[in-house]
Structure 1
Amino acid sequence: MSIELNPAAVKFAQRLIEEGKLKNDEGHWGQHNPNTKVENDYLDQHEIAEYGQWHLGLDMSKGEDIKGRYHFPYGDFQTVHRDGLIAAKERAAQQGYKDIEKAADELLQQLEKQVAS
């Protein structure tokens, strides 16, 4: 499985951070990461492309209309989470996806600057 960076998700996350739609949470991403029910409820009301914007990685071997195409979530379908970006960065580093790791790190830095200002 080869996962590529999702440029649309990066731009979407940048815009959300600029708009202040973020959570500078401390803790573990597992506490905030939407579960399957929340994901499915979101998909009942939104297009799969909107769902994809919440994920920094794309598995190009899967169809665009399949949830399994989207990897490295960073938010809760409302806000960008600091711990979500940290988790995405760490998992991407562990799995050797340097471009996703770099994008998550840059988004994390943007979020931290936004919080500090």
Structure 2
Amino acid sequence: MSIQLNPDAVKFAKQLIQDGKLKNDKGHWGQHNPDTSAENKFLDTHEIQEYSQWHLGLDKSKGEDTKGRYHFPYGDFKTVHRDGLIAAKERAAQQGYRDIEKAADELLQTLEKKAAQ
């Protein structure tokens, strides 16, 4: 499986942070990460393209209309979560996806600066 950086998701996350749609949470991402039910509920009322914007990684070997194509979630379909970015950064580092790790780190720094204002 070869996962690539999703530049549209990075751009979307930056805009959300700029708009103040963020959570500077210090909890565990497992507490905020949308489960399958929440993902399906989101997809009931949104296009897969909107779903993709909430994931920093793309597996282009999977179909565009499948959830399996999208990896490294960072938010809850409403806000960017600090702990989501940390989880994405750590998982990307462990799996050797340096571009995703770097993007998550840059977004994390942007979020923390915005939250401090």
Report the equivalent of 1:66: 66
- Relative to the length of structure 1, the TM-score reads 0.99
**Shift of the alpha carbon at 1:27?**
1.1
- For structure 1, the 5+ residue unaligned runs are none
1:89-104, aligned counterparts within 5 Å?
A: 89-104=89-104
**Shift of the alpha carbon at 1:80?**
0.1
Alignment partner of 1:107 is 2:107 = yes
Deviations 1:59-108 (A, max 9, x none): 01001100000000000000000000000000000000000000000000
Report the equivalent of 2:84: 84
- Quote the sequence identity (%): 80
Dislocated runs of 4+, deviation >2 Å: none
d(CA) in 2 for partners of 1:27, 1:67: 25
Root mean square deviation of aligned Cα: 0.3
- For structure 2, the 5+ residue unaligned runs are none
1:1-117, aligned counterparts within 5 Å?
A: 1-117=1-117
- Relative to the length of structure 2, the TM-score reads 0.99
**Shift of the alpha carbon at 1:9?**
0.1
**Shift of the alpha carbon at 1:55?**
0.1
Deviations 1:26-82 (A, max 9, x none): 110000000000000000000000000000000010011000000000000000000
d(CA) in 2 for partners of 1:27, 1:36: 20
